[in-house]
Structure formats: C-alpha cells, structure tokens
Amino acid sequence: MTRLLRDAMSHFATGVTVVTTHFEGQDYGMTCNSFSTVSLEPALVLWSIRKESHSHLAFTQSSGYMVSVLASHQQAVAMQFTHGTQEERFQNVPTERSKTHLFDPHPQIAGAVAWFNCKLEQVVTAGDHDILIGRVLDFGSHDGESLVYSQRQFGVFAPFLNK
C-alpha cells in the first residue's frame, strides 16, 4: 500500500524547497516538497515533517522557519539537504540571514528564486507527519527558473508555447 501510494503521489509535480531553522544555536535544514500556501489574509503557509526526522524537535520547538524555493540550477543543493549531519548539509552552500527574526535568524539559501520567513503558528499532528503552519512575516523573489520534482526526478518547467 505505502509503496503504491508513493508511486501514485510521485505523479504530482511540485517545486522544491529547503526549509531551515535556527534553534538553540544551531542551523537545521531539509529538502521539502510538501510546502504549500494556505491563506493570503492572513498570509499562512504549511509543510509537513516526518515525525521520525532527526530535526523534528528543532522545527517543532523553534520560533519559526525559512522556506527557500530552489532555482533550477540548485539540484545539488536539494540532494545535499536530504542526508548527512546538519554541518555537512550547509557545507559550501552560501546562506543569508533574515533581518526580521532579530534573535533567531534562520538561514536563507542564496540564489533561491523565492523565500518566505515564517513564524511557527500551529503544529497539527497528522499520521506519521506533523504539519507546520507558519505565518509569513517577510518574503521575496527573484527572476529565474524554479526547480521541479516529479516521478522522483528533478527537472525544469517547460511551458507550452501556443499563445
């Protein structure tokens, strides 16, 4: 069942993000494609984290998180944030610090096409994941192609050219 469900779900193409948080003096990050918008007024977003994740405590206890939407050339960054120690994940990945969270500056992945700096509003337990609903405090975007994930492969969005 789980395998078939994963196979079916892999057909739903998504963007790719790296979510990060700064918790008790350490940076945490993981690749995430469950990111989604929830509400515009107020501005709310969500993503879900596996309860077994090593960084589950950090993300659920922290004051918030940063979502960096990866650009099409950042496939290596996406892979780097799926495994290894937190120090290894951030190695050679340039980051910037948000100015909104003065005491808790979550790292932002440099070169990302968009970013959302969020305050953690609500944690909803749902099966083997927790849904982290965040209020967007600050955000930005740049021109550029987004990285896309579908059927367990990274790629780029190819729009139809018929006008």
Ligand X SMILES: Cc1cc2nc3c(=O)[nH]c(=O)nc-3n(C[C@H](O)[C@H](O)[C@H](O)COP(=O)(O)O)c2cc1C
Q: What is the 3-state secondary structure (H, E, C) of 25-60?
A: CEEEEEEECCCEEEECCCCEEEEEEECCCCCHHHHH
Q: Decide if residue 46 touches ligand X (CB under 6 A).
A: no
Return the residue of 22, 23, 46, 55 that touches ligand X, per CB under 6 A.
55
* Closest C-alpha among 71, 62, 53 to residue 134: 62
Determine which residue in the list 10, 15, 27, 33 makes contact with ligand X, applying CB under 6 A: 33
Task: Determine if 112 is a binding residue for ligand X (CB under 6 A).
Answer: no
By CB under 6 A, residue 54 contacts ligand X: yes
| Nearest distance, CB of residue 69 and ligand X, angstroms | 12
The SS3 of residue 162 is: coil
Size of the site for ligand X (CB under 6 A): 16
Q: Is 78 within 8 Å of 68 (Cβ atoms)?
A: no
65 is a contact residue toward ligand X (CB under 6 A): no
Q: Specify the residue, 81 or 117, whose C-beta has the smaller distance to ligand X.
A: 81
Alpha helices (H) in the chain, listed in sequence order: 2-9, 56-61, 75-80, 86-90
Which letter does DSSP use for residue 92 in this model? T
Interface with ligand X, residue 34, by CB under 6 A: yes
Which stretches of the chain bind ligand X, using CB under 6 A? 16, 30-34, 47-50, 53-55, 82-83, 149
